[in-house]
Amino acid sequence: MPGDPSPRFSPRSLAVQALGRIDEPSRALVPPIHLSTTYIRDPDNQYRSGNCYGRPDNPSVREAEAIIAMLEAAPAAMLFGSGMSAATALFLSLEPGAHVIVPEVMYWGLRAWLVIDARAFGLLVEPVDASRPEAIAAALRPGATRLVWLETPANPLWTITDIAAVAALAHAAGALVAVDSTCATPVFTRPLALGADLVMHAATKYLNGHSDVVAGALVTAREDDLWARVRRTRTVLGQILGPLETYLLIRGMRTLDLRVRAAAASAMELALRLSDHPALAAVLYPGLEGHPGHAVAARQMVGGFGGMLSIRLRAGAAAAIATAARTRLWKRATSLGGVESLIEHRASVEGPDSPCPSDLLRLSVGIEDVEDLSADIDQALRAP
């Protein structure tokens, strides 16, 4: 990308400094917020500044996109008003009749849209067990499958997909691979380096990290015709992120590395402590050696296994709901990836069609003291 800082600095350092760019007119250290919705034309009626109107583009948005592209070692990124906007923009940019393969276990909101609504847009959606590359291989239709959508670790069971293996299979069949890497984050996994073609982030979560912005991002390995169609979809449907939200997202990304590593370290410690808890039937966390996807996760998640885990209670659904109600430090709320720790009974949220077990609680580990988090969940599990 033109104007990039020296590549000798690490992604962590560059993100902390928002790529180190200084606003020349003001000499400000912090990137400014560009609120204008319209811009002055040149005397010959052109827009040589690159800015014409707020719906297709915005200077603040381009700043944030450059940071995300840098974090993913990608040529380009695109910001959207939510993770759902980013994901659906990609699916809507495929040609009608496209066959797409998706995981059986994935973010429930996108799963519902794919199962209920995508057919109206001409998409043929086939859910498979994405933790098994052979299941994806069996579902691929050479010449018809256009996209394989992956999510790893997959919310809320935290199953793992071998990105490199699936990419090789998909490419041999003429299909692209897109990865929802929201929970892995660029800190631990770079899907493009493993062969993926596109990456999606619900930037509401770890990229922002403060539970005060709803945003989404797509990242591409190539600025090709599909990427151009995605950009047009964003423009036509008005899906771009607003400048104020973009400013907050940039602020959040400056501490991404520190937050994610702290959360992952605490999640690993909690998973180990909870593994032999008498109230629990299972702890689902890819960092545990007994996790079915641990070996693959250890290979493609470099430096940590993320801040998300789930626990299953021996006493069932009612006990799970009661446990969440007894926590004091863990907050009962939807979402994940913020600095505060959250706990949620997912089956209640996702409804009867959810693949989520009714005895499961999803835990988003924040950056509080791990001893406090451990003591609080323990007392909630042990209370009568």
Could you list the active site residues?
A: 55, 107, 180, 205
Q: How far apart are CA 204 and CA 125, in angstroms?
A: 26
Between the CA of residue 33 and those of 175, 190, 243, 248, 379, what are the distances in Å? 39, 29, 6, 10, 45
Nearest to residue 57, comparing CAs of 248, 253, 251, 238? 238
Chain-centroid distance, C-alpha 58 = 23
Chain-centroid distance, C-alpha 279 = 31
Q: List, in sequence order, every beta strand (DSSP E) within 120-170.
A: 124-128, 145-151
Give yes or no for a contact between 125 and 102, defined as CB atoms under 8 angstroms apart.
Answer: yes
* Concatenated DSSP letters of 49-73: TS--BTTT--HHHHHHHHHHHHHTT
Can the peptide bond before residue 59 be classed as cis, meaning omega within 30 degrees of 0? no
Sign of CA dihedral 368, 373, 375, 380: positive
Between the CA of residue 125 and those of 28, 141, 233, 350, what are the distances in Å? 48, 12, 20, 20
For the chain, state the CA radius of gyration: 21
Task: Report residue 69 as tokens.
Answer: 């592209």
DSSP letter at 340? Answer: S
